[in-house]
A and B are shown apart, each in its own frame.
Chain A
């Protein structure tokens, strides 16, 4: 069930033209690791206590690369 009901999901892809991809870019799962990390997301089970901001800082430090790390999906009761 798509929830909330009535909320339009992406639905089927309506194809106008069949086109083959060229030799550029990468299928997301096949990106070389350095590129993969640039376009990555983590579904993190945040412990209660530390703030999202603190956890973001830890993840950035853990990954140890100068990439940008942010967060979204704030749980406001």
Chain B
């Protein structure tokens, strides 16, 4: 959500037309002060609507692909309109599964910690959520308890240990190796798509990327090669 400021007067129709031109895939070159290479790239603008307008100030809501520069988007609309425009304010209202409506303030954390000190951990459990819940948009590979320790020690995910796979899981795209209870073990990089992992009988199906789980939460079982 952001405030677009028009540098000249335009009608509602002209503004609506200009905004319509920026829905869908657009070309953007990252600004001079950017953390990434300044090459022209395509970003998708999924939703773009005017919420309110007061003269030259326009409150808009956008849903865009990661890496879309809103300042640039607003500037470009100003160019199309011929009067110029700039970004006055910007607020992120959603990122993946995280919504503004579920967000907490520093004061909420402070109060929750105080309750915890008084013996009530309930508020702290509401303010802090399990990391698995903020990664609900990432495809998963569920593995048997007997495979957990090896993965927590940095081993790859191998076919015999796999119990289930998210259908959206794709070769080379980050995924999570999780336990039957849904605990994250590691961030992994699948070496094949979901369908192929289900069919695989042996061998590596995902390479370790970053281990998250503490190593000794699950007992090691790989030495005996025994399955639960």
- Which A residues are closer than 8 A to B by beta carbons? 1, 3-17, 19-22, 24-29, 31, 33, 36-45, 47, 55, 58-59, 62-64, 73, 75-77
Q: Enumerate chain B residues within 8 angstroms of A6, measured Cβ to Cβ.
A: 44
- Decide: A5 near B106, CB < 8 A? Known: A13-B142, A16-B164, A22-B228: no
In the complex the two chains form, what is the Cα distance from A26 to B219 in whole Å?
Answer: 14
Q: Which residue of B lies closest to A13 (CB)?
A: B164
In the complex the two chains form, what is the Cα distance from A47 to B106 in whole Å?
Answer: 9
Given A10-B136, A19-B144, A73-B98, 8 more A-B residue pairs with CB atoms under 8 Å apart are: A4-B46, A6-B44, A16-B164, A19-B180, A24-B219, A26-B181, A36-B128, A43-B99
Q: Enumerate chain A residues within 8 angstroms of B100, measured Cβ to Cβ.
A: 45
Q: Is B217 an interface residue (CB 8 A)?
A: yes
Q: From residue 100 to 125 of chain B, which have CB atoms closer than 8 A to chain A?
A: 100, 102-106, 109-110, 113, 116, 121, 124-125
In the complex the two chains form, what is the Cα distance from A73 to B212 in whole Å?
Answer: 19
Kindly identify which residue among A10, A16, A26, A59 contacts B168, using a CB–CB cutoff of 8 Å: A10
- A13 touching B145, Cβ below 8 Å: no
What are 23 A-B contacts with C-beta separation under 8 Å? A3-B65, A4-B64, A10-B139, A10-B169, A11-B168, A13-B142, A13-B167, A14-B164, A14-B167, A14-B194, A17-B163, A19-B163, A26-B183, A37-B128, A39-B212, A41-B134, A43-B129, A47-B106, A55-B106, A62-B106, A63-B109, A73-B92, A75-B90
In the complex the two chains form, what is the Cα distance from A64 to B67 in whole Å?
Answer: 34
- Decide: A20 near B180, CB < 8 A? Known: A36-B128, A45-B104, A47-B106: yes
In the complex the two chains form, what is the Cα distance from A11 to B166 in whole Å?
Answer: 6
In the complex the two chains form, what is the Cα distance from A36 to B144 in whole Å?
Answer: 22
Q: Which residue of B lies closest to A39 (CB)?
A: B131
- B167 touching A11, Cβ below 8 Å: yes
In the complex the two chains form, what is the Cα distance from A36 to B132 in whole Å?
Answer: 11
- Which B residues are closer than 8 A to A by beta carbons? 34-35, 44, 46-47, 63-65, 69-71, 87, 90, 92, 95, 98-100, 102-106, 109-110, 113, 116, 121, 124-125, 127-134, 136-140, 142, 144-145, 148, 162-170, 173, 179-184, 194, 198, 212, 214, 217-219, 228
- A13 touching B168, Cβ below 8 Å: no
Helix, strand, loop or mixed for chain A's interface?
Answer: loop
Nearest-neighbour CB distance to chain B for A51, whole angstroms, equals 14
Q: Enumerate chain B residues within 8 angstroms of A55, measured Cβ to Cβ.
A: 106
- Decide: A24 near B106, CB < 8 A? Known: A40-B128, A77-B69: no
Nearest-neighbour CB distance to chain A for B60, whole angstroms, equals 14
In the complex the two chains form, what is the Cα distance from A21 to B90 in whole Å?
Answer: 45
Q: Enumerate chain B residues within 8 angstroms of A29, measured Cβ to Cβ.
A: 125, 130
